[in-house]
Chains A and B, each alone.
Chain A
Amino acid sequence: MRKLLVLIVAAMVGIAAFGQDVDAIVDAYSENLVFETSRGEAEMLVKNQYGERTIRMIIHTMGKADVLVEYTSRAEQGQKILRSENDIYLYYPDASEIVRLQGAALRQSLQGSDVSYEDLTGGKKLQDTYDIDYISMEGVEGFDTHRLMFVAKSRDVPYPRQELWIDAETYVLRKSKLYSLSGRLIKEVKTLETRLIAGKTVATKVSIVDVLKKDTETVLTYTSLEVDIELDRNLFSLEELTF
């Protein structure tokens, strides 16, 4: 009986310790993703069975929620995306039109890539959105990682189940697999390059593969990234979107 009690207490302590660890890991991972402000120039290489094309863009961010993307490559020149905490707005210079995306429209592909507009949504604390379980410690391409399973608490998220491999030392994402509610694998994400910026390890080259499509891959590369710079909050506004 005494042994049983000791085992139960030990198990409870262990669970509590693991729980703290998971929170700490997720907090460190989330913290790593966010800067007060940032301005980056990026290239999105979209590969499919018909060839490749490169889409260039400038990405401004402020905190977790505010993102402004402006395409600079010729075919998409002037198109912009504004993400706020609850909305995504698109701007098409040809028609001078603001389109607010909601619901099913968010599932559309971002410029024919493996990324959907839904992937841009978010900004909420991960622990508020998902139940998170620690699976194990695993090696991913030479890096020790924490393997975590995220299960959504509600249905209003793009991916109800996610499996993340987070670097044990730098807390950068090394790999993730995104699943549907039924457990079907939808997308795979891999970090190809990282860079140390302002004391944080940032993924600067990421591969995204939509496994439901045939022979496709999208590689997003930051060619430059400045962080914690002075940005006007009004940069993230409909006025800027339509200028």
Chain B
Amino acid sequence: MRRFICICILFFLLAGLYAEVTTELSLHSGSGYQRESNTDSLESFGSTGGAAHISFFSNESDMIRPRFELKTTIDYSSMGLVTTFVEVPKLYLKTRMPFSDGYTIRSTSGKETYSWGEGQIYNAADTINGARYASLTDTLGRFDSESFVQEDTKKNQQLDARSVKDGAVWGTGIFFPMGRYSFTEFLVGLPIDIAQGILFSLKEDGNGLNDTQVKFVGAGIDSSRSNRLIGFRTQFKAYEIKTEVGYMYRPFPLAAQQGEHQPFISIQGNLLADLYASNAFHITPEGDFSYDVGAGLFYGTGNFAIVHALDFRVEGLYQSDIEKFHIYSDIGYTYNDIMRFGLNSEMRFSDGYDGVLLNTSYTTDRNGRKSILQLGLLFNTETLVTIYYTGLVSYAF
């Protein structure tokens, strides 16, 4: 282990000398109360911690682009649990080779994030990350103090879909251009799960911190999904509509013992508002059939500027396998170029009403120094009422 740490330190020193480096530091905190009416018990929860995310990369070459990222999150929860999560968000080598007529074929080998389909919180066509990104819905159940730190960080950034797609894939992607604005991308996820991160945890038992647990976390924090996949997508524009069609085969998608064929389609265009829709089918070799279908729209106002502007987003998703319908809405008021107030909600229906979460957020961005403060109220069918706050500050340099 000591040798491994020495090698890592040496690697960072050498990489720092030869590569470009960006760093993002953040602090987060969250707490709240939860009341269960049938037991009439009141439970408090909370956690606080920080994260460091460092990226090494080189853009010197027109033919080769390497990238390595390391992220460490440390958290102390009110349950007396100290958790440290070390992960490698990205580790890849992109190479491209001349093909014809100036076009190049590109391959990406290693661990990389892939964003297929359309949607911010829901994306039915995202057969890689799943139809629902880490979102408000995660809190529709009881808060889990142990996983609060990881979920907390994601929830704090839930308005930004770019940050919540966390399902990076170990494997190889081939990018095949079919013109300047259309392409086909093939993707093969490795047939074995490789640990996405290492979770260390320490429990406080009154005599200090002990009971160390170290576990490798495969396929991200959400270990129910597998990296094993093979598929492709083709993106093109048809009558000003961005269109994406594709197919994915997942041998063991959700710990089930059979594979799934997943053809999908998504479209995006503009008709007064920005509109998008996605649809994926899930077909087993035995012929069992289910589907995810989702759609959304975004509209914003403003005097050709960013100040005193209102924006509105609504998204819906239906998942036929679990017979659940999700609705997400967000209304934002941008006061000036650094402050935005938001009110968002997520509702879930199955046979009847399932749960609703109301969340207010206050976001600032002062020249790269971002802060987000959220207050939320959650109700679900177990008449569980939760009130919570979360806060996050980050600085990239």
Contacts and interface: CB of A to CB of B under 8 A. Distances in A.
A214 B115 CA distance: 37
Contact of A234 (B67, B115, B180, B242): B180
Contact of A238 (B177, B273, B309, B397): B177
Contacts of A97: 113, 115, 161-162, 165
Interface string B152-188: 0000000001110100000000010101111100000
A75 B23 CA distance: 8
B102 A243 contact: no
Contacts, number: 150
A107 B308 CA distance: 12
A107 B305 contact: yes
B338 A112 contact: yes
B305 A50 contact: no
Interface residues of A, number: 52
B302 A95 contact: no
Interface stretch (A21-29, A98-106, A133-141, A194-202): A98-106
A83 to B, nearest CB: 12
25 contacts: A53-B367, A74-B22, A75-B397, A78-B57, A94-B113, A95-B165, A98-B115, A102-B268, A103-B300, A104-B301, A104-B302, A104-B311, A105-B274, A107-B305, A107-B309, A116-B304, A178-B304, A184-B303, A210-B307, A213-B336, A232-B102, A234-B102, A234-B103, A234-B177, A239-B103
Contacts of B300: 103-105, 107
Given A97-B162, A232-B102, A239-B175, A48 B338 contact: yes
A116 B305 CA distance: 7
A102 B273 CA distance: 9
Interface of B: 20-22, 57, 59, 65, 67, 94, 96, 102-104, 106, 112-115, 161-163, 165, 175, 177, 179-183, 235, 237, 240, 242, 268-270, 272-274, 298-309, 311, 336-338, 365-368, 396-397
A238 B367 contact: no
B305 A104 contact: no
Contacts of A98: 115, 235
B79 to A, nearest CB: 31
Contacts of B274: 102-105
A232 B62 CA distance: 13
Nearest to A72: B59
Contacts of A53: 367-368
Contacts of A158: 304
Contacts of A72: 59
